[in-house]
Amino acid sequence: MTVLLRLALLFLIPLVPFTAATSNCPASAANLSPTEYYPKDKLKPGMRGITYTVLQGEKIEPLETEILGIAKNYIGPGLDLIIAKLVDPKTAVIGAVHGMSGSPLYVDGKLVGALSRRIASFEKDGHCGFTPIEDMFQVEQLEHQNQLSPSQYLSVDQRSNWNLLGLQRFGGRLKEKTDWLAVPLTVSGISQNLFEQYLKRFGWGQFPFLIVSGGASSSASSVQPESLQPGAPVSAVMMTGDISIGGTGTLTWRNGTNVLAFGHPMFGFGKSNLPMAMAEVITTIPSYETPYKLANIGNVIGTILEDRLSAIGGKIGPIPTMASYSVNRIHNDKAMKPLEGRFISHPSLSPMLVNLALAEALSSTDNSSRTFAVKVEGKVQFENLPPLALGGFYSGHDTDLIDATVEITKPLSLLFEQPWIEPKIKSLDLSVVSSEKEKVWMVEKIYSDYQKYQPAAQIHLQLELKEKYGERLFRSITLPIPPTVGASTPLNIRVISGNILDKLLLDKKMQAVTDVHQLIDALNQRHKTNCLYIQLFIESPGEIRGAHELPSLPPSLLLLSNTANISRKTIQDNELLLTETEIELPGMALADQTIKVEVQ
């Protein structure tokens, strides 16, 4: 019977008359100063107030709210939570909704706090939590402090060992206390399921986001930024254009151009520079477990400068610079509409957003299939650094899509992890050529014309290549033996693909990098994934002089060494490369084979 009554109330919501006093409307309190609020210490159980939010369209609705008490230190040391209950008929079924974060609560016409928590799933009586406005005002004061770049938080010792830290998982920072209302992340232009997979891959899987499909860049809103009031929807924007991503909550407080919202973090970045946009609530989806607002993201109207535990804060007016993206697509020899738009440049988010643009370019065609081959070429331009090349040839099944895009964009992730200069992306330009046929070439056999050679002779090789489920190819290569190689010297001939070769060499290169420009140079010299590299090398011993290791010394230097003060050893994987050549293939190369010959 109770369930039937509550469902009946849901359909009666549009008939409920407006009962809030005009004096309590947030429009009359939009310009409150930080001293004009209702202190939490004066709240008493049983007091009534009004919470303002938008349930559909642009109309700010009043919701009757009852104060129940104060939960001391609930959010953290010295950070209390106001416990209340929504007792309005309009919320009889939905309770506190994901997307209401920041909805302001007024008592006696004075601002008390922001709705920030739903006490429990399947909660039936509308119990919820409000972040006190006193704590949110502390966030507003932080906006006037200097902003530090990520590299300024690292000591000199930490900077020298940056490459040993491994891939950063930014999403784990606030896992300890993520009981606030989920932020509905409205996505358009990309699969909701695909976005969720990338969130998990980049460490945001446990964060309280609710991924919902919605709209973008709605121009239908009649509300102008100048008239934006507490209770109206507001969004933190990550991406616009053909792919749109933004998290929507509610505006809590406004003083001129200064604003506070959400009553909890968006990402928990601290100092921030995220675009802030208006939004339009399409509807509120009722659910006992996960009610939420479905929204369109509107135009960018300002900047979120603080992303803190108690609130996000920012300014209306100044708009942060966003990087542009352009992804040209050709699928099965047919040109498709390019993907274009803008995205934020941020160490924690940009690598994931670039992955999303690339993944959408590969998966948004009706002709997509379980197997694919893709060739990517392009570069990232920066405001403060030299360009970074991105690209490669990859092939596999659709389950390999995320691995492929992560590998293609790995140089960008590495660049954002370095501690010297925070990269500021200006533009991303990619060309993506894809097909539905898997194109992987492997080395079946390596033939040499002889086993033993005269000094300074030439080695003639024949490679037999096999395409997966396809044809065979034969390639001939000539490798000259350098005249410096003496008689009775064993030689190694390795045939290796670019992706495997980079895995062997990239870590070694990273150890020698001492600044960001060296890093970009190393990343731009990566080997091609659709090429085979044929290397002639000898296994060369190294020496240790004092505390210094000298690997891969030429034979002439080894003969001249003074054995009295030298400790000799053969270092594993120490190789002296004599010559190298490459062969380009019509697909992804996959090989790592070595044969041995000898100089007589």
The predicted-structure confidence for 262-316, as pLDDT tens digits, reads as follows: 999 999 999 999 999 999 999 999 887 888 999 999 899 999 999 999 999 999 9
341 plus 278 within the same structural domain: no
The DSSP H or E segment spanning 539 is strand 531-539
Residue 375 and residue 368: Cα distance in Å, rounded?
15
> In this model, does residue 465 exceed pLDDT 60?
yes
State residue 504's pLDDT score: 81
| Proportion of the chain above pLDDT 70, given as a percent | 79
Q: Tokens 């008939």 — which residue? A: 15
422-457 burial code (b ≥16 CB/10 A, e <16):
bbebbebbbbbbbbebbbbbebeebebeeeebeeee
State residue 461's pLDDT score: 95
239 plus 296 within the same structural domain: yes
329 plus 274 within the same structural domain: no
State residue 205's pLDDT score: 81
State residue 306's pLDDT score: 95
355 plus 454 within the same structural domain: no
Q: Which domain holds residue 310?
A: 150-316
Among residues 142, 176, 202, the one where a domain terminates is 142
Model confidence band, residue 469 (pLDDT cutoffs 50, 70, 90): confident
The DSSP H or E segment spanning 442 is strand 440-448
Provide the CATH number for the domain around residue 81: 2.40.10.10
202 plus 282 within the same structural domain: yes
Model confidence band, residue 143 (pLDDT cutoffs 50, 70, 90): low
Residue 540 and residue 559: Cα distance in Å, rounded?
13
> In this model, does residue 524 exceed pLDDT 50?
yes
593 plus 463 within the same structural domain: yes
Distances from the Cα of 541 to the Cα of 293, 486, 550, 561, 600, angstroms = 67, 16, 9, 12, 21
CB contact at 8 A, 412 and 392: no
State residue 222's pLDDT score: 52
Q: What is the torsion angle, in degrees rounded to the nearest 10, for the CA atoms of residue 528, residue 533, residue 535 and residue 539?
A: 60
Model confidence band, residue 84 (pLDDT cutoffs 50, 70, 90): very high
The predicted-structure confidence for 100-138, as pLDDT tens digits, reads as follows: 999 999 999 999 999 999 887 766 678 999 999 999 999
481 plus 553 within the same structural domain: yes
State residue 49's pLDDT score: 96
Among residues 435, 450, 474, the one where a domain terminates is 435
| Proportion of the chain above pLDDT 90, given as a percent | 59
558 plus 501 within the same structural domain: yes
351 plus 412 within the same structural domain: yes
> In this model, does residue 579 exceed pLDDT 60?
yes
Q: Tokens 């616009």 — which residue? A: 240
Average pLDDT over residues 542-562: 50
580 plus 473 within the same structural domain: yes
CA 150 to centroid of chain Cα atoms? 16
381 plus 473 within the same structural domain: no
The predicted-structure confidence for 419-437, as pLDDT tens digits, reads as follows: 999 999 999 999 999 988 8
Q: How many domains does the chain have?
A: 4
Q: Name the H helices within 170-270.
A: 192-201
373 plus 302 within the same structural domain: no
Rg of the chain (C-alpha set): 31
Among residues 269, 296, 316, the one where a domain terminates is 316
